[in-house]
Structure 1
Amino acid sequence: MFSGLNVSIHGDSNTDSQRLVELAHWPIKVSIIIVLGAMITLGNVAVLMVISSSVSGWSRNSRYFLLSLTGADSAFGIVVMPLNLWVSLVKDYRQGPDVLCHVVAFCNATVYSTCMYTLAMISLERYIAVLYPLKYSSLMTRKRSLMLIAFSWFFPPFLLLPVSFPGGIIEVHFSTASLVCNPTYSTNVGYSMSLTCFIFFPCSIIMTYTNLHLWCAAKRQRKKLRKYDQNCRKRSDVASRVLVPVMAVYYTCWAPCMAAMIYNAVSGNSVPEWLEFVVVWLPTSNGFLNCIFYFWINRSFRRKFHLVFQQLILALCPSLAKAFGWSADPQTLFVSGMWDNNNSVYERSSSMSSTCTMMTLAEDVGHT
């Protein structure tokens, strides 16, 4: 991945005894990675089952962006983790960089970058939907939404293409500390800093700016509602309950990785073994936490998941469904498997998920 954390296995910086210690921890690290990968995959499969069909109050554009995020998060579990675990099994640690490691490092960096860009695009769409609802239809057309999604997926591979070339400006080694094919950005500090400037900092600025403005807008709206609705004082602070955790999780998962990358590029030194393992794999946990903060806290999503799960059990195991007292509803089954044809109504009203609009959030809290 583009964190650039590398415990070299070919230089004087790492002794044979250190390599043996790192390899001795291999089963523990592999177990952690497998458990994390299973959580990410199962969580995003459940999300995909729901948002691939219509969800009440979610516009078509919303589902496009959230499907993009689900795809990027799923890639952690079905691409990044299997590839790096496979390399850790077949890699001969006495050999130097090879084509396989370069390809895997390129895939890692692409998935991580795509996830960050997608999170930034979702924040931007939410910002427009909430603060400029009357202009949403003209600003966030279907074509522009798809172009933003395409940019999130195709710009990172273009930017990171040099990582895939063996013998190029970027060296890649397999790290026995993090079990990841890592680019050694210390050999090209300028390129590594350029990646940080084009990926992490722009996405972080967009997310911070948009979510901070949404939080301030929600606070102002809450103060106004207090004057007319006494029950508003009893309701929880929705903005703090959603927006603050989203940003806190983002920076907790990504900032340590970026800080270690910059440290490695500037100083040329690597961080301790387990610290490297944690900061390298910590961003992948964001793929699971996104399922919670962007989906499961929304009441409409939970209801739709219950419906989809019920229909799935009815189809696969009717006896179990009968034990729970569930009965098939042909009309419900048809709707759950089809895209909503009334998306234009949702788009004109700029309805979003609970993490995408304050109005939906307020409604969720009001019913709890």
Structure 2
Amino acid sequence: MYSTLNFSTFDDSNLSALTSVDPHRLQEQTHRSVKISIIIVLGVMITLGNIAVLLVISSSVAGWSKNSRYFLLSLTAADSAFGLLVMPLNLWVSLLKDYTEGPDALCHVVAFCNATVYSTCMYTLATISLERYIAVFYPLQYSSLMTRKRTLLLIAFAWCFPPFLLLPISFPVGIIEVHFSTASLVCNPSYSTNVGYTLSLTCLIFFPCSIIMTHANLRVWCAAKRQRLKLRKYNCARRSRHNVASRVLVPVMAAYYACWTPCMAAMIYNAVSGSSVPEWLEFVVVWLPTSNGFLNCIFYFWINRSFRRKFHLVLQRLLLTLCPKLADTLGCCNPSKTDFVSGITDNNNSVHERSSSVSSTCTLLSLA
């Protein structure tokens, strides 16, 4: 009446196949989820930080010349590209691309965008250091050396030269091979098969920018230190005041080398030895330069007192415009007082805005 079940068809091998889970594949999925989470969190931090910076420096800031604002706007745009372009593109490829496939046109385009944004950020940091060097050591000639036209040309060079230099990466069929790395979740050129091109990129991008930044910031730091000692000698400086030169220049250079040197070293090691670094080490060194886009917000902007005051003023205006009831509840904004202070600040910046030469001289003295 009842049909008998034939358990003989389920042997031990079939049972183990149904119940077992590949631990290696499970570990890969876990690592991939953790990596994607880290990338998303880092991208959100970079984007929010640079949006706040953009809201402030899009208007005038006390003590900042127009040329300085142009360079800092360029840096903000380059840093924002990490969170708005590089991270979404690579996450999109990591979610959609079949890892068994070879290089394709999409990976070439993403690798080209990655290398362009990274290079533009380094060139922008170098131009900022060069502009500050000229402002501090040649204050009287600053207006003639750093005209608006030359400032825009330097910014255009920082944005246009990297795409021209890295154009071969974008060709699907060319001299540069591109692959998607499951370790770092990034489309990267195959540095081991293009040793000469890899070394030429580092010699044309990383090393020149590093030399310019190191020389300029070191000279400014030494000048500020000598000025501080002179003022102390003649009892013109308060001993309790912090050394702003060490508080700003040293972290800027330390963050730059800490974020970019491991990535460049891994590229050179991969090109010369032909072997890749361990999985998590590759992930860290590849994505570490993007964190420089968030650290720049801190070292270049949030340490500056004028920037913080302007940010508080902008935040008050946004609260009064978007949420007036919330602003009244918090009691942090008085409309009449805010309008009065903003009017004084804007008029002071528009009428009494410092020229670049005077501002640079005062900056050198204030570094003490």
Q: With structure 2 as the length reference, what TM-score do the two structures score? A: 0.88
Quick check: 1:346 aligned with 2:346?
no
Q: CA contact under 8 A between 2:127 and 2:154: conserved in structure 1?
A: yes
**281, 289, 292: which is aligned to 2:287?**
281
Kindly indicate whether residue 123 of structure 2 is the aligned counterpart of residue 117 of structure 1: yes
1:78 aligns with 2:84: yes
Aligned length: 344
User: What residue in structure 2 maps to residue 9 of structure 1?
Assistant: none
Paired amino acid for 1:349: V
Q: Deviations over 1:104-137 (max 9, x none)?
A: 0000000000000000000000111111111111
**Distance in structure 1 (CA, Å) of the matches to 2:169 and 2:113:** 9
1:172-214 per-residue CA deviation (whole Å, 9 max, x = no partner) reads 1111100000110211111111100000000000000001101
Return closer, same or farther for 1:201/1:22 CA change in 2, 3 Å cut-off.
farther
Equivalent of residue 88 in structure 1, options 65, 90, 94? 94
Aligned to 2:271: 265
8 Å CA contact 1:37–1:76 kept in 2: the answer is yes
* Equivalent-residue separation in structure 2 for 1:279 and 1:301 (angstroms): 31
Aligned mate of 1:163, from 149, 164, 169: 169
Residue of structure 2 equivalent to 1:299: 305
The reply on whether 1:308 has 2:314 as its aligned counterpart is yes
Q: Deviations over 1:222-280 (max 9, x none)?
A: 11001122653332222221111111110000000000000000111000000000000
Q: How has the CA–CA distance of structure 1 residues 338 and 64 changed in structure 2, closer, same or farther, with 3 Å as cutoff?
A: farther
Distance in 2 of aligned mates of 1:18 and 1:216: 54
Once the two structures are TM-superposed, the CA of residue 73 in structure 1 deviates from its matched residue by 0.2
Contact 1:314 1:321 in 2 (8 A): yes
* C-alpha displacement of 1:94: 1.1
Larger relative contact order, structure 1 or 2 (CA cutoff 8 Å, min sep 6): 1
Q: Residues 140-167 of structure 1, C-alpha deviation per residue, up to 9 Å, x if partnerless?
A: 1111010000000000000000000012
Partner of 2:61: 55
- SS of the aligned residue for 2:355 comes to helix
Residues 123 and 210 of structure 1 are in contact (CA less than 8 Å); yes or no, is this contact kept in structure 2? yes
Q: CA deviation at 1:344?
A: 6.8
1:133 to 129, 139, 145: 139
CA contact (8 A) 1:61 1:145 kept: yes
Distance apart, 1:20 and its partner CA: 6.8
Superposed counterparts of 1:1-368, under 5 Å: 21-229=27-235, 231-325=237-331, 326-328=333-335, 329-330=338-339, 341-342=350-351, 345-351=354-360, 357-362=363-368
Structure 2 CA distance, aligned partners of 1:338 and 1:163?
49
Distance in 1 (CA, whole Å) between partners of 2:348 and 2:227 is: 33
What is the distance in 2 between the residues matched to 1:134 and 1:337? 26
Following the alignment from structure 2 to structure 1, what is the Cα–Cα distance between the partners of residues 216 and 63? Answer: 21
Distance 1:264 1:18 in 2: 25
Deviation at 1:319, TM superposition (A): 0.6
TM-score (norm 1): 0.88
Residue type at the aligned position of 1:347: S
CA distance in 2, matches of 1:37, 1:336: 33
Identity of aligned residues (%): 75
* Structure 1 vs Structure 2 CA RMSD: 2.2
Check 1:271–1:335 CA distance in 2 against 1; reply closer, same or farther (3 A cut).
farther
Quote the offset at 1:351 in angstroms. 4.3
Query: Any idea what SS the aligned residue of 2:100 has?
Result: coil
- C-alpha contact 1:136 1:350 (8 A) present in aligned 2: no
CA contact (8 A) 2:224 2:367 kept: no
Structure with larger Rg: 2
After TM superposition, the structure 1 stretch with the greater mean CA deviation from structure 2, 181-190 or 194-203, is 181-190
The Cα shift of 1:21 comes to 4.4
* Partner Cα distance (1:20, 1:145) in 2: 53
In 1: Cα distance, 2:320 partner to 2:313 partner: 11
Q: Which residue of the partner structure matches residue 11 of structure 1?
A: none
